[in-house]
Amino acid sequence: MIDYHTHIGEQHHYSEEFLREGLKMRGTPALKTSLDQHSRAVERVSHAVVLAFRSRLLGFNVPNDYVAEYCQRDPEKLIGFACVDPHDHDAPGELKDCVHNLGLRGLKTSPIYQGYEPMDERMLPIYRFCENSGVPILTHHGTTFPRRAPLKWAHPEQLEEVALAFPELRIIIAHLGHPWEVETISVIRKHPHIYSDVSGLFYRPWQLYNSLMLCKEYGVWNKLIFGTDYPVTTFDEAVAGLYKMVDYASRMPFPGFTDKDIEALLANNVLAELNLA
Q: Are the C-beta atoms of 231 and 7 separated by less than 8 Å?
A: yes
What's the rounded mean pLDDT across residues 114-121? 96
Cα of first residue to Cα of last residue in the chain, in angstroms, is 14
> Which residue type occupies 244?
K
pLDDT confidence of residue 237: 94
Q: Are the C-beta atoms of 124 and 86 separated by less than 8 Å?
A: no
Rounded Cα–Cα distance for residues 262 and 170 (Å): 24
pLDDT confidence of residue 25: 62
pLDDT tens string 171-229: 999 999 999 999 999 999 999 999 999 999 998 999 999 999 999 999 999 999 999 99
**Residue 24: is its pLDDT beyond 80?**
no
Name the DSSP class of 205: H
Rounded Cα–Cα distance for residues 157 and 184 (Å): 7
Rounded Cα–Cα distance for residues 56 and 149 (Å): 11
pLDDT band for 26, please (50, 70, 90 cuts). low
Residue predicted with more confidence, 23 or 180: 180
What's the rounded mean pLDDT across residues 113-138? 97
Phi, psi values for residue 9, rounded to 5°: 150, 135
Q: What is the largest CA-CA distance in the chain?
A: 56
> Which residue type occupies 75?
P
- Poorest-confidence range of 24-28, 38-42, 98-102, 123-127? 24-28
pLDDT confidence of residue 176: 98
Q: Which residue, 63, 41, 54, is CA-closest to 232?
A: 41
pLDDT band for 137, please (50, 70, 90 cuts). very high
Q: Which residue, 109, 105, 116, is CA-closest to 78?
A: 105
pLDDT confidence of residue 16: 80
Q: List Cα–Cα distances, 151 to 142, 223, 256, 277, in angstroms.
A: 8, 25, 32, 34
Planar angle of CA 167, 95, 74, nearest 5 degrees: 100
**Residue 274: is its pLDDT beyond 60?**
yes
pLDDT confidence of residue 28: 53
pLDDT confidence of residue 207: 94
**Residue 138: is its pLDDT beyond 90?**
yes
**Residue 148, Cα to own-chain centre: how many angstroms?**
20
> Which residue type occupies 26?
R
pLDDT confidence of residue 225: 98
pLDDT confidence of residue 123: 98
Kindly give, in sequence order, each residue whose CB lies less than 8 Å from that of residue 188, ignoring residues fewer than 6 positions away. 173, 194, 195, 196, 220, 223
pLDDT confidence of residue 104: 98
Which pairing describes strands 78-82 and 60-62: parallel, antiparallel, or unpaired?
unpaired
pLDDT tens string 81-96: 999 999 998 999 999 9
Q: What is the mean pLDDT of the chain?
A: 94
Planar angle of CA 87, 104, 31, nearest 5 degrees: 70
